[in-house]
């Protein structure tokens, strides 16, 4: 079996998910979760995947990866908006993306002026492999496509 690795989809600082405005994210109910205070201007595909869904505003992306399972990228607290001026989508639902493909462009100045903490991105992993232990990083600086998010894994 190939090594299970998930690289950061953007640069920034990892913070504990307890800082996310959504109770659903904070509870880890959707899966293994970490959060990144995004500092880069692009969100990149962390792995080759199919874009299962992207919200109209672009702040929620659901990827399906044969290697990883489900990966959800969730900027901010709400998906109700159909347009967020700070976010430019480069993908649509149904697209196939390679690792490193740009998913979104982010205008940091506008992003940080928004309410709902759109600069805080939850990375949620629902792996397609059973693990006795799986832990995601919860602190420190990360660099897009260079920094590992999975810090502990023990396959069942």
Contacts with 128 (C-beta within 8 Å, 6 or more apart), sequence order: 65, 66, 67, 68, 69, 70
**pTM listed for this prediction:** 0.90
Q: pLDDT tens string for the chain (156 positions)?
A: 346 789 999 999 999 888 888 888 888 888 889 999 999 999 999 999 999 999 998 999 999 999 889 999 998 866 566 788 889 999 999 999 999 999 999 999 988 887 667 788 999 999 887 776 788 888 999 999 999 998 777 765
Neighbours of 152 (CB within 10 A): 10
- Give DSSP secondary structure letters for the chain: ------B-SS-EEEE-GGGSS-HHHHTTTTSEEEEEEE-SSEEE-SSSEEEEEE-TTSSEEEEEETTTEEEEEEESS----S--TTEEE---TT-EE-TT-EEEEE-HHHHHHSSS-TTEEEEEEEESS-EEEEEE--SEEE-TTTSB-EEEEEE-
pLDDT value of position 61: 96
């Amino acid at each position: 079996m190939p090594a299970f690795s998930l690289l950061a989809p953007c640069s920034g600082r990892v913070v504990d998910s307890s800082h996310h405005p959504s109770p659903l994210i904070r509870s880890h109910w959707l899966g293994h979760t970490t959060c990144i205070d995004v500092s880069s201007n692009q969100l990149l595909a962390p792995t080759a995947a199919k874009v299962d869904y992207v919200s109209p505003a672009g702040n929620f992306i659901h990827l399906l990866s044969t290697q990883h399972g489900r990966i959800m990228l969730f900027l901010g607290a709400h998906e109700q908006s159909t347009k967020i001026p700070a976010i430019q989508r480069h993908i649509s639902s149904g697209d196939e993306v390679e690792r490193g493909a740009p998913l979104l462009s982010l205008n940091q100045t506008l992003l940080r002026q928004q309410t709902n903490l759109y600069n805080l991105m939850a990375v949620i992993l629902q792996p397609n492999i059973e693990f006795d232990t799986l832990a995601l990083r919860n602190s420190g600086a990360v660099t897009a496509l260079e920094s590992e998010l999975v810090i502990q894994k023990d396959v069942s």
